[in-house]
Amino acid sequence: MDYVYVNEVIGSSEYGQICLGTHSLQDSIMLNLHASPEWRDKYLKPLVAGEVFPSFGMTEPAVAAPTRRSCRRAPCSTATTG
């Protein structure tokens, strides 16, 4: 559980994950555990080699165009799962 708190702090910085070299960790784990061999060759190998840079996008169904002002960070204790 300590990793959750550390990751929240690192993630609150625009450059934190890049500076600490953890920006591709979640993607690497996901691809390693769940991707087909073809996807591992195509995406995981270049990611681990540093040849590509991962990105993440998320949408919310009820929000057409979220702005920075409409986003807020919830404390870990109120985060929902599922």
Please write the tens of the pLDDT for every residue from 14-66.
787 777 767 777 788 888 999 999 999 998 899 888 888 877 666 666 665 55
User: How far apart are the C-alpha atoms of 17 and 80, rounded to whole Å?
Assistant: 23
- Helix, strand, coil percentages (3-state) for the chain, rounded to 5, are 55, 0, 45
pTM: 0.49
**CA–CA separation, 80 vs 78, rounded Å?**
6
